[in-house]
Amino acid sequence: WMNEAAWPSLKAAIVKDRAAIEEAARLTGVEPRLIVGCLVGEQIRLFNSKREMYKKYLGPVKVLSVQSQFSFGVNGIKDFTAQKVERNLKDTSSIFYMGKKYEHVLDFNTADHASERYYRLTNYHNHLYSYIYTGCILHQTMLQWKRSGYDISKRPDILFTLFNLGFEASKPSANPQCGGSRIEANGRTYTFGRIGNDFYFSGELAKEFPIQSESFVNE
Mean per-residue pLDDT pooled into runs of 10, the chain (219 residues): 85 95 98 98 81 53 75 93 98 98 98 97 95 98 98 98 97 97 90 97 97 91
pLDDT (tens digit per residue) in 11-23: 999 999 999 999 9
CA 122, CA 104: separation in Å to the nearest integer? 21
CA 134, CA 30: separation in Å to the nearest integer? 9
This model's pTM is above 0.75: yes
